[in-house]
Structure 1
Amino acid sequence: MSKPAKTIRKIAGNEPIAAALVLGSGLSSIGELMTDTVTIPYSELKGFPGGGVSGHGRDLLIGFMGGKRIAVLTGREHYYEHGNASAMRPALETMADLGAQTLLLTNSAGSVDSRFQPGDLMLISDHINYAGMNPLIGEPTDRRFVNMVNCYDLDLRAKATRLAQGFDYTLGEGVYLWYSGPSFETVAEIQMAIRLGANAVGMSTAPEVILGRFLGLRVWACSSVTNMGAGLSSENISHKHTKHMAVQGAEKLKKLIPALVEEL
């Protein structure tokens, strides 16, 4: 067992967690839904995210949501912070050490599809690794050859779609294109993304999906759409705008995620 996992168990207790949830930009308020919460700063856990992006938390929460004991990472480290695609590997390995069988991922993303407007959610069905980097580069074992077919769990996607209908909103599915950032995409790059078959673009998530499958976890991911891609609207794209608009998606996720966790 890793040193961070031992530290967490010493502080929060030995009971296994059912799932790990990673929160994206402007979505940290979802962690407030937990009960019996133990808060552990990332700074106390070796290998946990050490960078800083406004709109992301820097704590690990252990507690209950949807009747299950889970861990919530209130923020992530991105490739664009230090050029390390495997930055989230120590944290996700720790989640597996703690017993997690499911990895739930959220992010804020820009839409390149008129079906998904700012304030909507997009359930991710697949991704395009346009950034080209891979968190398993340097892994010495044959485990690095991860099968990515249906890497976004079909059963969890079906459950989320059904649950969303019960909350009176449609949860459409789409393909997420991972762009390294930190600059936003150009108009030409957005047009390329459309031609490649993407429905949304963002600067995270794909590395964590690869790591999750590498660790044998079921993976589910959902984007909170904060803006249309460059050239698709007149809005001024900025990180400030992303954080502001993510609040709308967070309100929908606050209903969806606990209900999904309950069905794990």
Structure 2
Amino acid sequence: MTEAHDFAAEAARVLAEKTGIEKHDIALILGSGWGGAAELLGEEIASVPAAEIPGFSGHAVAGHHAVHRSFRTPNGRTVLALGARQHFYQSRDASTVAHAVRMAAAAGCTQFVVTNGCGSVNRDFVPGTVVLLKDHINFTSATPLEGATFVDMTQTYTPRLRDLAHTIDADLPEGVYMQFTGPQYETPAEVRMAAILGADLVGMSTALESIAAREAGMEILGLSLVTNLAAGFGGETLDHQEVLDAGAAAAPRISRLLAEIVKVM
């Protein structure tokens, strides 16, 4: 076990102490537009400021919240909604990005749901579309893994969970997400490259987190909300407010969808 894993285990110990919950079942990262799903999961049974847990700070990017919250679903499962998402562009450290996922695994979570707001390079996926991830391209040139840690990424996004999501919404399209480093948005040339490489969606999160979850042996479900058409596919310019506005408009619909999926996991 690496130093990063030891640190995550310590964070999980403090989380259990502060929440009074010995074991969580499902970990959830709520990206831009997805935050409202937490309120629909079930009874909130604990909440702790992320800054009180080792490895986290109170800082959060607009659209994210620096609080870890625990919920109990109607079927008795305990969900950990992870706040203070740490993006790669904030630290340039993949291990820091993976810390929340590793803490969740150490806290007992065996399933990981990762969501994001993203740009679309597929003209069939217009703003407001929810896309079920079937694969990703890690274009950050980084990994949270250390040494000879050979993790199979063949089925990163668990087919069983994708099938389960389709029982809630049979019309959910599937796509490939490509993580760039950010924080700048992609250029039109980079977007054309992404499409050539097989991406449908582009963004600044998710892939590194999913690698860490695969290393931990967790089942993974990935959901992307298309908040904008990527550069060269839509308007002349892009800005973060556009992402927030699109997320806010779609929030009630996608929150219900996500909560319904999590409740049957």
C-alpha contact (below 8 Å) 1:49/1:76 kept by paired residues: no
Q: Which residue of 2 aligns with 1:72?
A: 81
Separation in structure 2 between the aligned mates of residue 66 and residue 36 of structure 1, nearest angstrom: 11
CA deviations on 1:199-221 (whole Å, 9 max, x unpaired) are 01000000000000001100111
Separation in structure 2 between the aligned mates of residue 155 and residue 223 of structure 1, nearest angstrom: 18
**Structure 1's 17 and 258: CA in aligned 2 closer, same or farther, altered over 3 A?**
same
Q: Give the TM-score normalised by the residue count of structure 2.
A: 0.91
Q: Tell me the amino acid that sits aligned with residue 208 of structure 2.
A: P
More displaced, 101-110 or 18-27? 18-27
Aligned residue runs from structure 1 range 82-101, under 5 A: 82-101=91-110
Q: Which residue of 1 aligns with 2:254?
A: 253
Q: How many equivalent residue pairs?
A: 256
CA RMSD of aligned residues (A): 1.7
Q: How many percent of aligned residue pairs carry the same amino acid?
A: 34
Separation in structure 1 between the aligned mates of residue 57 and residue 116 of structure 2, nearest angstrom: 16
Separation in structure 2 between the aligned mates of residue 36 and residue 239 of structure 1, nearest angstrom: 30
Q: Which residue of 2 aligns with 1:104?
A: 113
**Deviation for aligned residue 1:158:** 1.0
C-alpha contact (below 8 Å) 1:66/1:261 kept by paired residues: no
Q: Which residue of 2 aligns with 1:11?
A: 18
Separation in structure 2 between the aligned mates of residue 37 and residue 188 of structure 1, nearest angstrom: 47
Separation in structure 2 between the aligned mates of residue 224 and residue 253 of structure 1, nearest angstrom: 8
2:173 paired with 1:160? no
Q: Which residue of 1 aligns with 2:63?
A: 55
Separation in structure 1 between the aligned mates of residue 105 and residue 85 of structure 2, nearest angstrom: 16
Question: Structure 1: which 5+ residue stretches go unaligned?
Answer: none
**Deviation for aligned residue 1:31:** 2.0
**Deviation for aligned residue 1:235:** 5.8
Separation in structure 2 between the aligned mates of residue 26 and residue 235 of structure 1, nearest angstrom: 23
Q: Which residue of 1 aligns with 2:3?
A: none
Aligned residue runs from structure 1 range 117-196, under 5 A: 117-136=126-145, 139-140=146-147, 142=148, 144-165=149-170, 170-196=171-197
C-alpha contact (below 8 Å) 1:65/1:258 kept by paired residues: no
**Structure 1's 89 and 116: CA in aligned 2 closer, same or farther, altered over 3 A?**
same
Question: Structure 2: which 5+ residue stretches go unaligned?
Answer: 1-5
Separation in structure 2 between the aligned mates of residue 260 and residue 221 of structure 1, nearest angstrom: 12
C-alpha contact (below 8 Å) 1:119/1:245 kept by paired residues: yes
Q: Which residue of 2 aligns with 1:238?
A: 239
C-alpha contact (below 8 Å) 1:108/1:226 kept by paired residues: yes
Separation in structure 1 between the aligned mates of residue 98 and residue 180 of structure 2, nearest angstrom: 19
**Deviation for aligned residue 1:115:** 1.3
Separation in structure 1 between the aligned mates of residue 236 and residue 25 of structure 2, nearest angstrom: 40
Q: Which residue of 1 aligns with 2:50?
A: 42
Separation in structure 1 between the aligned mates of residue 206 and residue 150 of structure 2, nearest angstrom: 19
**Deviation for aligned residue 1:94:** 1.7
Separation in structure 1 between the aligned mates of residue 262 and residue 36 of structure 2, nearest angstrom: 17
Q: Which residue of 2 aligns with 1:22?
A: 29
**Deviation for aligned residue 1:227:** 0.3
Q: Give the TM-score normalised by the residue count of structure 1.
A: 0.91
C-alpha contact (below 8 Å) 1:50/1:77 kept by paired residues: no
**Structure 1's 65 and 254: CA in aligned 2 closer, same or farther, altered over 3 A?**
farther
**Structure 1's 260 and 49: CA in aligned 2 closer, same or farther, altered over 3 A?**
farther
**Structure 1's 28 and 235: CA in aligned 2 closer, same or farther, altered over 3 A?**
farther
**Structure 1's 49 and 134: CA in aligned 2 closer, same or farther, altered over 3 A?**
farther
